[in-house]
């Protein structure tokens, strides 16, 4: 069937496998029938509150089955879902709620203290719905489980992801229904998903990889999404065993940690269901992935993509090479700084285009024009396309840090906070590469004369304004910061700093 939108995709799957478990978290299991009917109830409730096609509905929730249900509720109402990070602090959340033009926010009671100083600055926001409140539960119970008759077209907005992206500026990346529907059949086939598969994701749902591959890909195939209760090697192994997970999706650092689990611990679990892992979000290690394959008797797959362009290259079950990000799935050129294609085997910037590319940065035409030129997306990533057609990711041309969680950190955002500390005269935030943990967010600090501070004091200060993953893992006090000939901070030199 030629699917037109994500609403129809879920409804077709629910017709085919109504009793199949769609989402599971511990004892909480949601069938495809429940996911379909409850999301329709939410959609009808949103419409009764005045939601119209094209409106924006923000989601700020924990990673639970209810997240999936409410997101589809927004989509079925014809709205675009604005996916917010549940680890955000108020200064990060405020501009996203305001600039996304969200009219409704679906959230939980636990976020109330975070939201109280933020809501007044979002003038278009009319309703805050707390899913664990009695009024919300009653509203959903009173709504019809029948699919609302909203005409959603492929080119309509579906999701806004907030990302630092290529330009290092926090902005909303707009993806349409068509951009997801054009890639989902391909990944289902490439990863050989079957109806009895259980996909376990180690990623937040508000990131493209988490939403696109951990949520949408299983729903397209009609298999099960297993949610990890919390991030730890033990929790991963427990969940694989309990849910009989067949596919694991995460970032390199997560798999590096799994590869280091001792053989005796592995033998104490029944992990025979696990047949493949999908690694993405940062540069992988062929050494650790090979170790992972041998210890767990599975196949490691890799992709390279961006929030703006879901997949550029893919190394799937039948066509992969460890240490590379696979072969191009999108149209790909590797170019020099003048835009001229470089020979195979030479390093250059990846420039790509595909039907699953973003439509735009929301309400930011100038920023959109900087990265989308003549239909081609400039990734800002340095890569090397080998003679054999496999792509090796080299590094980002920007100073953006990608730590173990796979989420991006803009150094300037961390530095802005640090410079407000009374003892800090100068600072620079960089990613110092650790072969095991990925890039470690590291700050170098020059203290004001006569002032003092400890690493713990600096971290506590950062936690007041920054999400936990942005809080520097390493803090180094120095007499001065290295400079380039032009007088700029030499970030590359700092990033090569190793502990003695």
Q: 411-495: which CATH number, 3.30.300.30, 3.30.450.20, 3.40.630.10, 3.90.1300.10?
A: 3.30.300.30
Domain covering 6-380 in this structure, CATH number: 3.40.50.12780
Cα gap 143→139, rounded to integer Å: 6
Phi then psi for residue 59, to 5 deg, are -120, 115
Cα gap 129→123, rounded to integer Å: 16
Provide the pairing of β-strand 424-434 with 391-396. unpaired
Cα gap 482→306, rounded to integer Å: 31
Cα gap 310→356, rounded to integer Å: 6
CA 97, 103, 105: angle at the middle one, nearest 5? 65
Strand, helix or coil for residue 173: strand
**Residues in Cβ contact with 478 at an 8 Å cutoff, skipping those fewer than 6 apart:** 444, 445, 446
Confidence of residue 167 (pLDDT cuts 50, 70, 90): low
Percent of the chain with pLDDT over 90: 73
Handedness of CA 184, 187, 191, 192 (dihedral sign): positive
CA-based nearest residue to 25, from 59, 60, 58, 67: 67
Which residue's entry shows tokens 């054999």? 388
Report how far apart, in Å, the C-alpha atoms of 487 and of each of 237, 270, 410, 461 are: 50, 57, 21, 28
pLDDT tens digits for range 39-63: 999 999 999 999 999 999 999 999 9
Instruction: Specify the pLDDT at position 287.
Output: 86
**Residues in Cβ contact with 471 at an 8 Å cutoff, skipping those fewer than 6 apart:** 441, 459, 462, 463
Q: Say which DSSP state 448 is in.
A: P
The answer, yes or no, to whether residue 276 has pLDDT greater than 80, is yes
Bridge partners (DSSP) of residue 299 are 276
Domain boundaries, the chain: 6-380, 411-495
What's the pTM?
0.84
Cα gap 466→229, rounded to integer Å: 23
Cα gap 261→270, rounded to integer Å: 15
Instruction: Specify the pLDDT at position 486.
Output: 43
Cα gap 346→332, rounded to integer Å: 14
pLDDT tens digits for range 321-379: 998 999 999 999 999 989 999 999 999 999 999 999 999 999 999 999 999 999 999 99
The answer, yes or no, to whether residue 261 has pLDDT greater than 60, is yes
Cα gap 88→117, rounded to integer Å: 13
Cα gap 68→62, rounded to integer Å: 10
pLDDT tens digits for range 113-136: 999 999 999 999 999 999 999 999
């Amino acid at each position: 069937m030629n699917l037109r939108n994500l609403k129809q995709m879920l409804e077709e799957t629910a017709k085919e496998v109504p009793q199949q478990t769609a989402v599971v978290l511990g004892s909480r299991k949601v069938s495809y029938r429940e996911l379909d009917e409850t999301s329709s109830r939410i959609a009808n409730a949103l419409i009764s509150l005045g939601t119209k096609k094209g409106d924006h509905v923000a989601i700020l929730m924990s990673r639970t089955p209810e997240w999936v249900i409410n997101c589809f509720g927004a989509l079925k109402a014809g709205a675009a879902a604005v996916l917010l990070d549940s680890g955000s602090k108020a200064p990060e959340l405020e501009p996203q709620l305001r600039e996304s033009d969200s009219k409704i926010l679906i959230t939980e009671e636990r976020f109330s203290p975070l939201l109280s100083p933020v809501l007044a600055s979002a003038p278009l926001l009319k309703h805050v719905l707390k899913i664990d409140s009695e009024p919300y539960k009653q509203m959903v119970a009173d709504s019809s489980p029948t699919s609302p008759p909203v005409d959603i077209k492929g080119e309509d907005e579906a999701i806004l992801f907030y990302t630092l992206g290529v330009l290092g500026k926090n902005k909303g990346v707009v993806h349409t229904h068509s951009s997801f529907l054009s890639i989902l059949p391909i990944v289902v086939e490439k990863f050989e998903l079957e109806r009895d598969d259980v996909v376990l994701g180690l990623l937040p749902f508000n990131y493209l990889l988490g939403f696109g591959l951990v949520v949408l890909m299983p729903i397209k195939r009609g298999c099960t999404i297993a949610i990890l209760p919390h991030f730890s090697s033990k929790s991963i192994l427990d969940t694989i065993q309990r849910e009989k997970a067949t596919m694991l999706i995460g970032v390199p650092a997560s798999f590096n940690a799994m590869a280091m689990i001792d053989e005796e611990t592995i033998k104490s679990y029944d992990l025979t269901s696990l047949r493949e892992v999908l690694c993405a979000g940062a540069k992988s290690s062929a050494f650790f992935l090979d170790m992972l394959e041998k210890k767990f008797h599975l196949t490691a797959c890799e992709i390279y993509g961006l929030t703006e362009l879901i997949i550029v290259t893919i190394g799937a079950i039948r066509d992969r090479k460890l240490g590379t990000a696979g072969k191009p799935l999108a149209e790909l050129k590797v170019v020099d700084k003048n835009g001229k294609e470089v020979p195979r085997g030479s390093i250059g910037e990846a420039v790509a285009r595909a039907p699953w590319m973003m439509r735009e940065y929301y309400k930011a035409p100038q920023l959109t024009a900087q990265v989308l030129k003549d239909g081609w997306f400039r990734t800002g990533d340095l890569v090397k396309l080998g003679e054999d057609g496999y792509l090796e990711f080299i590094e980002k041309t920007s100073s953006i840090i990608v730590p173990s969680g796979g989420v991006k950190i803009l150094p300037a955002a961390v530095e802005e906070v640090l410079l407000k500390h009374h003892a800090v005269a100068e600072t620079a935030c960089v990613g110092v590469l650790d072969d095991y943990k990925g890039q470690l967010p590291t700050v170098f600090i020059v203290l004001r004369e006569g002032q003092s501070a400890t690493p713990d004091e600096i971290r506590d200060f950062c936690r007041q304004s920054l999400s936990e993953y942005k809080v520097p893992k390493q803090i180094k006090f120095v007499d001065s910061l290295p400079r380039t000939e032009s007088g700029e901070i030499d970030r590359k030199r700092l990033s090569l700093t190793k502990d003695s």
